[in-house]
Amino acid sequence: MLSSFTLRKFGGFTTAPIKTLVIDEASQIETGDYIPLFTSHSTIRKEDIQELKSIFEVKHLKKCAIFLNIQYRMPPQIGWFISQAIYDSELDSNPEHPITTERMACHFINIPSEEQPHGTSWKASCFISSLSVAIDRPRA
């Protein structure tokens, strides 16, 4: 909605200017939707992200913060990985999620990055061959 041309055209940002914009789940947004936001407002560069503290690390915000310790969206296997890697194992998954732990929801493959120039882009043949092996592998 913030990328709406109509909202900008009719003065939506003048009437209610955006002072701070925090984007959660940024990977879920189409890249093109960022353009109007980033061309009309101050932004934080990617390099500045490391300087931003979590609200759980800011003393005056921490006492008001509520950590939601159960996630419902992701399959439990992915939720477990996120919990281990990011939340110090404090994030649980919905025990009634339709994808159970008996079913493989994802598989992590460690592939060395070996990109070669390919026209005006890059090509990673090792990704293609590793993915082919994973797809052809019999499933349990």
Encode pLDDT of 50-67 as tens digits.
566 666 777 877 777 777
Read off the pLDDT band of 19 (50, 70, 90).
low
Range 126-140 burial, b when 16+ CB lie within 10 A, else e: eeeeeeeeeeeeeee
Domain that holds residue 125: 109-140
Q: Is 128 within a domain? A: yes
Mean pLDDT, the chain, as a whole number? 74
Q: Is 33 within a domain? A: yes
Helices (H) and strands (E) in the chain, counts: 6, 4
Phi-psi sector, 25: left (phi>0), alpha (psi -120 to 50), beta? left
Compare 71 and 134 and report the one with higher pLDDT: 71
Q: Is 139 within a domain? A: yes
For residue 93, what are the β-bridge partners? 71
Q: Is 75 within a domain? A: no
- For the entire predicted model, the pTM comes to 0.43
Total count of domains within the chain: 2
pLDDT in tens, 55-113: 677 787 777 777 789 999 888 888 888 899 888 899 999 989 888 877 777 766 777 77
Q: Is 82 within a domain? A: no
